[in-house]
Structure 1
Amino acid sequence: MSTATWVTHRKRGSGALKYTILAIIALPWTVMPVWMLVVNSFKTESDSSVPSLALPTTWNVVENYATVFTEGNYLTGLRNSLVVAVPTILVVLLLGSMAAWAFARSTRMTLRGAYYLMAMSIILPPAIVPTVFLVTHLGLTGGVAGYMLALIGTRLGVVAFLATGYIRGLPIDFEEAAEIDGAGRWQIYWHVILPLLRPILFTVAVMTMINVWNDFFFALYMLKGTDNATLPLSLYNFANSGQYGVRRNLVFAHVLLTSLPLLIAYIFLQKRVLSGLTEGGVTG
């Protein structure tokens, strides 16, 4: 074996050992919370009053999850979360990618200032009180429309920021060629820019989905009534509905069911998310 080959094998071995050690250290911190969540959702109310990692003494699986569906308004919350999340993500991706194209290709100071102002929304927390005040004066409070408007406005900055950096790394040749062929601005965006942005937009869509799906504070202040409640708000109402305190076993079951759609999406989409984060520019 040559020296170069020996050095390569040694580097690979040390790298594998390093990642193995990191995985062993990180595994308990990721597995234990999930195990506690699952195992306590199987217990009776008395057994789960003090959450632990132990198996249930009395299994109460069917009763717990049936109660979540019947009393916890899970299906209504799931429907409302989907109704809110899907249109919000589509609008955010459309408007954010359009703004990113303008920010990336323009040299105007006004647009550059707008870009930095929009990027600041990533650092600064959403102003809930002014947003609620504005939506109330527009007559949209209490329903899904005003809630979606608030989510769109507060999530545009992330899309525009990430997509702008991505577009700046793309060659302008395709856009110029399409313009020479007589394509308009909308045609260039739809047939050139949007296909090139698919990797980053897919990643941003998953990130926005997680953010919107787990939103609680805007939902708490803007959605009125159980018929409009999303899953986090349904969980909050359900956790506080116990006459003699929090029924932890049912809360754990509701949390698990609330997180289940995101977990399924992550399992099937993780490779595309990682490729969207690492892919840059255009090859070929």
Structure 2
Amino acid sequence: MIKYVLLTLFAIPWVVLPLWLMLINSAKREGEAALLSVTLPKEWAVLHNYAAVIRDGDYFTGLRNSLLVAVPTVLAVLLLGSMAAWGYARSTKRRSQLFFYISALSILLPPAVIPTIYLLTTLNLDGSLGGYSLMVVGTRLGSVIFLTTGFIRGMPVELEEAAAIDGASRIRTYFSVMLPLLRPILFVGGVLLVINIWNDFFFALLLLRGSENATLPLTLYSFASSSFVGIKWNLVFAHVVMTSLPLLAVYLVAQRQVLAGLTEGGLKG
């Protein structure tokens, strides 16, 4: 009982208070929100602030581009990463193990920005959503490979051998046997990827060109810095809330699968 009380007390200043600050200031007028207080607004301006974000903050453009980047890249990373993890987990060759460690090392090493821009320019993809998506796929594969390889190593190889005896090809074995078994851990990896890709600002700023290609973090940045007078905190907080809503929806839908994946991963480990 004491540990739950302590965890709650710890969460209040680090989780609850910032969340409350963001929500309550997104409903205030500009002058009152500039004080960054946690008190209730004297005059509510919820509809005005959120309508301004939609009207002037390029919200739907950013939402569209974020979805165009996040959905296909997450699916591609999960598919390619789980396939590679299956190969690494079942291989006994030293070369395969070396490639696995190189892939896992990509989690720690930052992407090489200048060579990436040069390569995308050569392919005529610099500044486009397609080029940015390719960079995201390449830089996020290592995390899924690392996460999934250990999970597969804890699975009995007899299932794959039985499928081979029945005449199933490697591709058929993957989609009919391995992929259903990997679903819990891939849910965990998918949620982590969505959060990471959805909130990416640094590489989006470097690799995307033009407001028509801006993702939500870039539209938020442009919206927050567009005023010559100063930052309109009420509108910035409203934009942050609307940017976070899709992530909240993903969490509410996938929370049971994520908890199941973490539980099964712990049991297999």
> Is TM > 0.5 for Structure 1 vs Structure 2?
yes
Of the structure 1 ranges 140-149 and 274-283, higher mean CA displacement relative to structure 2 is found in 274-283
Whether 1:86 and 2:71 are equivalent positions in the alignment is yes
Matched, 1:43 2:46: no
- Alpha-carbon distance in 2 for matches of 1:270, 1:20: 23
TM-superposed CA distance for 1:58, in Å, is 2.1
Name which of 62, 80, 85 aligns with 2:47. 62
Contact 2:29 2:43 in 1 (8 A): yes
Which residues in structure 2 correspond to 1:218-237 (within 5 Å)?
Answer: 218-237=203-222
Amino acid at match of 1:257: M
Which residue is 2:136 aligned to? 151
Greater shift in the superposed pair: 259-268 or 32-41: 259-268
8 Å CA contact 1:170, 1:281 repeated in 2: no
Quote how far apart the aligned CAs of 1:130 are. Answer: 2.6
Mapping for residues 128-139 of structure 1, pairs under 5 Å = 128-139=113-124
Greater Cα shift, 65-74 or 263-272:
263-272
> Are 2:82 and 2:145, in contact at CA under 8 Å, matched by a contact in 1?
yes
Distance 1:228 1:144 in 2: 6
- 18-27 vs 151-160, which deviates more? 18-27
Check the 8 A contact 1:169/1:281 in 2, yes or no.
no
Distance in 1 of aligned mates of 2:33 and 2:59 = 21
Q: TM-score, normalised by structure 1?
A: 0.90
Count of residue pairs brought into register by the alignment: 268
Is contact 1:170–1:282 with CA below 8 Å preserved after alignment?
Answer: no
Aligned alpha-carbon RMSD (Å):
1.5
Q: Residues 261 and 168 (structure 1 numbering): CA distance in 2 closer, same or farther, change over 3 Å? A: same
Residue 245 of structure 1 is aligned with which of 210, 213, 230? 230
Letter in 2 for 1:138: L
Aligned partner of 1:232: which letter?
Answer: P
Report the AA paired with residue 215 of structure 2.
Answer: T
Secondary structure of the residue that 2:156 maps to in structure 1?
Answer: coil
Which residue is equivalent to 1:27? 12
The amino acid that maps onto 2:8 is A
CA distance in 2, matches of 1:182, 1:205: 31
| Gapped regions of structure 1 (runs ≥ 5) | 1-15
Q: Which amino acid aligns with 1:24?
A: L
Alpha-carbon deviations, 1:14-39, whole Å to 9, x = none?
xx332233223323321110110011
Match of 2:62 in 1: 77
State the partner residue of 1:11: none
**Aligned residue in 2 for 1:141:** 126
Contact 1:72-1:238 within 8 A present in 2 as well: yes
Listed as ranges, the gaps of 5+ residues in structure 2 are none
Would the alpha carbon gap of residues 191 and 36 (structure 1) be closer, same or farther in structure 2, given more than 3 Å must change? same
- Report what 2:242 is aligned to: 257
Displacement of 1:282: 9.3
| CA distance in 1: counterparts of 2:182 and 2:120, whole angstroms | 32
Alignment of 1:136-215 (within 5 A): 136-215=121-200
TM-score by length of 2: 0.95
CA distance in 1, matches of 2:108, 2:263: 23
CA contact under 8 A between 2:116 and 2:135: conserved in structure 1? yes
Quote the Cα distance in structure 1 between the aligned partners of 2:265 and 2:106. 24
**CA separation in 1, counterparts of 2:230 and 2:267?**
57
Q: Distance in 2 between matches of 1:67 and 1:280?
A: 45
